[in-house]
Structure 1
Amino acid sequence: MKQLSSIIFLLFSLVSVAQQEAQYTHFMYNQQLYNPAYVGSRNTASFMGLHRSQWIGFEGAPYSQVLSFQTPIMRQRAGVGATISRYALGVSYAWFGSGAYSYNLRLTQSLSLRLGLQATIEYFGIDFADPKVVTVSQNDPSLADGDFTSKYAANIGVGMYLTYKDMFYFGASSPQIYPNDIGFNETTIISAQISPHRYFNLGAVIPVSEQLELMPNLIVKWVDQAPLDGEINFNVRYLKKITAGLSYRVGGDKAGESVDALLFFQFNQKLGAGLAYDLTLSKVKKYQSGTIEVLLRYDLRDEKADLENPRYFKKK
C-alpha cells in the first residue's frame, strides 16, 4: 500500500509542482520569502538559510532549501534583498531566484508602511529517467521527448508591510502577480500553470513581564481554484533568548494539515537558529513520520546593538 501511494503521489507531482509555492513553519522569522516589502525592515544586514524535509519516510516527498539576504539602504529609508530557493517533489523540481526592493513610508513616529517590488526568475525540470517514474510503455505519450525536460519563466511580485511601534505588524503580498503556463509537452497530463499566490499575515508582541513576551502570528494564503490555506501560531519568548511555540495549519482534510512545534534560540546578537517539527494530521500521516525544518540566521549588526525589539520589526 505504501508503494502504491508513493507511485500515485509521484505521478501527481508532475502536474502540481508549479502550482503551489513551498510552505514554511518558520514563516514569521523571515517574511522576505513571500513579501518583498519586508526587506530592510530589520534595520540590519541579515543572512538566512533554511532546509525543510516534508513527510519523512515517504518516497518522493517534498523538500526545499532557501538562502536569502537583505539589508537596509538610504539611511534605512529603503531596503534590498535577494533569495535563492530550491523545491523538489518526486521527479520534478524548481529553482527560484528573486531580487526585492522596498521603500519605507514613515506615516507617523509610531506607524511605518513599507511598499515592496520583486522580480523572479523560475526554472522547472522533470527527470523522466528517474527510476521512480512508472510507465507501462516506453511510448507513453504522457512523457516528454527525451529523459529530461525543463522550462524557464519570469514573474514580478508586490507587497506591503505595516508596523506600529514594536508591537504589531500586518503584511499583504503577491510574490507572483500573474500566472505562467509551463506545459512540458503537447499532452495535458503534464502541462502546468504557476498560479498567483496572495498572502496576508499579522502578528504582535505582548509583554507580560521583563522576562516574558507572548508573540502570536497568523498567515493566510489564497490561490485561485484552491482551498484557502492558513496557519495560526502562538510563541512565547523568554529573556529575549529562547522562543518556543505551537502552530496549527489548516488544509489537508477536516482535521487540518498539521500541528507544529517550534523552538528558536538566539545565541548572541548576531547568530540565531530554529528547529520545527510538523505532526501531520491529514490522511497521508499513515505513510510518513512528520516534517522537520531547520533555520539559521546571521545578522551583521553592530556588537553594541541591543536586542530589545522583536525579530519581526524594524529597530527604531
Structure 2
Amino acid sequence: MKKLTALIIVAACLQAQAQQKPHYTQYILNQYILNPALTGIENYTDIKVSHRHQWAGVQDAPVTTYVTIHTPINKKDYRTTATSFEVPGENPRGKRYWEEYTAAEPHHGVGLQVINDRTGPLNYFSAYATYAYHIGLSARTSLAAGFGAGFTNIGLNANKLDFGNVQVDPAVYNNGLINTTKPDFMAGLYLYSGDYFIGLAAQQIIPQKVSFSDNAVKTNNGKIVPHLFATAGYRFLLDEDFNVIPSVMVKYVQPMPVQLDVNAKLQYRDVAWMGVGYRYEDGFSAMVGMNVSHRFNIGYSYDYTTSGLNIVSKGSHEIMVGFLLGNKYDDGCPRNVW
C-alpha cells in the first residue's frame, strides 16, 4: 500500500523514530539472534534459517530472512559415563536429567549472523561475526558474555518513491538504488542454569547518522539508534513428559515506548512443542514445532494483529528450520536454550 510506504519513508528516512530491527516471534527458539552471549552455548554447531512475512496482505510490509551459525570451542562435553546417555523408555528431558544438570565448563564460542530485512523501498542487510566466553558461577549456574562486530548496508530503492501528488526529495527521486554502509556492533550477557535464564543485550550500540542525499541538498538525516533487549524465562516440570517455559522479552528503542512480549511454551519430552504469546498493544501469536532424528528441527508461528493494521493485515507468518551438526550425544532439543 502506498500510504504505508509513505509512512515508512517519513519515519525511517527523516527521523528514524520507528524500530529498525526486525520482530521475531520465535526468538525463544533462537535467542542468539538477539544476544551474542549465546554464541557456542550448546555442545554442537547450531544452524538456524528463518523467514518471516509480517502483516501478510499489506503491500511492501516487512519481510525478514536470516541465517545464523555458532559453535563452541574447547567445550568439555557434559556426558561422562555410559549411564549419561538416553535410557530406553525414559524421558531424556525428565526430572532426573535436570537434577543432574551441571554448569558449563569454561569455554569459548564463535558464530556468524546474516540478516536481510526489507520494508517497502528500504532494505537492511547485516552481517556479524560473534564471540562469547562461558564460565560456571556455581554448580548449576553459568554466565556468558559476548559481542558481535560487522556491518549494516541500508539500501533505498528510489524507483519506489512514487506517491502521486506527494512531493519527493529530488536528491533521491529517480536515482535508482542508493546504498549506505555503516559499521555495527552488539554486546550481551546471559545468565543461565537448568531452571532459568536472564539475558541482556544491546544492538546497534553506536548511534550513526544515515543520509541518502550525499549532502547534495540540506536534509534531516536519519539515525541508526541503539536497541536494548532483556529476556527472562523459567522452566516448570509438569510431570515426567511435559514441561512449560513462560518467558518475557522487553525491548526499548528510544524514543519509542517499551515493547513487551510475554510467551509460554509447552514441551513434550524432546520431541515436540507448542506455544502462545502476546505482544503488548500489537497482537497474539501461536507457534508449533518438532525435532526430527536429533539432527533437524522445524518451527512455525502465526501472529494475529490487534492494532489498527488488522483491517488490512492477514497476520504474520514465520518459519524456522534448525540443523544440529556434530550432535554426537543425540540431544533432541537444546540443553541451555529453550
| Contact 1:37–1:117 (CA under 8 A) maintained in structure 2 | yes
Q: Distance in 1 between matches of 2:255 and 2:308?
A: 22
Distance in 2, matches of 1:308 and 1:294, equals: 17
Distance 1:97 1:41 in 2: 20
Q: Are 2:6 and 2:163, in contact at CA under 8 Å, matched by a contact in 1?
A: no
Distance 1:19 1:34 in 2: 14
Q: Does 1:183 align with 2:187?
A: no
* Counterpart in the other structure of 1:123: 153
Return closer, same or farther for 1:141/1:208 CA change in 2, 3 Å cut-off.
same
SS of the aligned residue for 1:28 comes to helix
Structure exhibiting the larger radius of gyration computed from Cα positions: 2
How far, CA to CA, are the matches of 1:23 and 1:175 in structure 2? 13
2: CA distance, partners of 1:111 / 1:48? 26
Question: Are residues 80 and 229 of structure 1, via their aligned partners in 2, closer, same or farther at CA, if it must alter by over 3 Å?
Answer: same
Residue 21 of structure 1 corresponds to 21
| Structure 1 consecutive aligned stretches of length 4 or more whose deviation exceeds 6 Å | none
Displacement of 1:307? 3.7
Deviations 1:69-118 (A, max 9, x none): 00000225011110001000001101000011000121122110001011
1:312 has 2:312 as partner? no
- Cα distance in 2 for residues equivalent to 1:307 and 1:4: 46
- Once residues 192 and 166 of structure 2 are traced to their aligned partners in structure 1, the CA distance between those partners, rounded to angstroms, is 58
Does structure 1 retain, via aligned residues, the 8 Å contact 2:43–2:75? no
CA distance change for structure 1 residues 303 and 18 in 2, over 3 Å: closer, same or farther?
same
Residues 46 and 71 of structure 2 are in contact (CA less than 8 Å); yes or no, is this contact kept in structure 1? yes
Alpha-carbon contact 1:184-1:190 (below 8 Å) kept: no
- Say whether residues 1:267 and 2:292 are aligned partners: yes
Q: State whether structure 2 residue 204 is matched by structure 1 residue 206.
A: no
1:38 aligns with 2:38: yes
Contact preservation (8 Å) 1:18, 1:194: no
Is the Cα–Cα contact under 8 Å of residues 43 and 327 in structure 2 kept in the other structure?
Answer: no
The farther-off stretch of 37-46 and 5-14 is 5-14
How many angstroms does 1:199 deviate by? 0.6
**Partners in 1 of 2:239 and 2:176 — Cα distance?**
61
In structure 2, runs of 5+ residues without a counterpart are 77-106
CA displacement 1:140-194 (0-9 Å, x = unmatched): 4363572221100012211101112x11111001122121111212467773111
Larger mean CA deviation between 133-142 and 147-156 belongs to 133-142
- CA distance change for structure 1 residues 14 and 104 in 2, over 3 Å: closer, same or farther? closer
- TM-score, normalised on structure 2? 0.84
Describe the shift of the 1:136–1:38 C-alpha distance in structure 2 as closer, same or farther (beyond 3 A).
same
Identity of aligned residues (%): 23
One-letter code of the match for 2:320?
A: L
TM-score (norm 1): 0.89
User: Which secondary structure state, in structure 1, belongs to the residue aligned with residue 37 of structure 2?
Assistant: helix
Q: Which residue is equivalent to 2:183?
A: 154
Shift, 1:308, TM fit: 7.3
Cα drift, residue 18 of structure 1? 8.1
Q: Do the aligned partners of residues 306 and 96 (structure 1) sit closer, same or farther apart at CA in structure 2, a change above 3 Å counting?
A: closer
Q: Deviations over 1:234-282 (max 9, x none)?
A: 11111221111100001xxxxx101000111111211100000000010
Q: Which residue of 1 aligns with 2:196?
A: 168
Q: Structure 2 CA distance, aligned partners of 1:190 and 1:54?
A: 28
Residue identity opposite 1:194 in structure 2: I
In structure 2, the partner of 1:8 is 6
Give the aligned residue type for 1:277. Y
Is the partner of 1:129 in helix, strand or coil? helix
Distance in 2 of aligned mates of 1:312 and 1:237: 13
Query: Which of 308, 313, 318 pairs up with 1:283?
Result: 308
Work out whether residues 13 and 89 of structure 1, in 8 Å CA contact, stay in contact via their aligned partners in 2. Answer: no
Mark the CA change 1:162 to 1:189 in structure 2 (over 3 Å): closer, same or farther. same
Query: How many equivalent residue pairs?
Result: 304
Change (3 A) 1:65 1:13: farther
Structure-2 change in CA distance of 1:235 and 1:128 (3 Å): same
Contact 1:52–1:293 (Cα < 8 Å) also in 2: yes
> RMSD over aligned Cα, in angstroms?
2.3
Aligned to 2:41, the other structure's residue is in SS state coil
Is the CA contact 2:128–2:151 (under 8 Å) kept in the aligned structure 1?
yes
Question: What is the rounded CA distance, in whole Å, between the counterparts of 1:213 and 1:258 in structure 2?
Answer: 25
- Provide structure 1 residue ranges, at least 5 long, that are not aligned to the other structure: 251-255
State the SS of the aligned residue for 1:65.
strand
Q: Cα deviation per residue 1:199-258 (whole Å; 9 max; x = unaligned)? A: 1001122111111111111111111111101201011111221111100001xxxxx101
What is the distance in 2 between the residues matched to 1:139 and 1:193? Answer: 19
Q: Which residue in the other structure is 1:98 paired with?
A: 128
Say whether 1:49 aligns with 2:35: no
Residues 110 and 14 of structure 1: CA distance in aligned 2, closer, same or farther (over 3 Å): closer
Aligned equivalents of 1:267, 1:188: Cα separation in 2: 56
CA–CA separation in structure 2 for the residues paired with 1:261 and 1:62 = 19
Shift of 1:12: 3.6
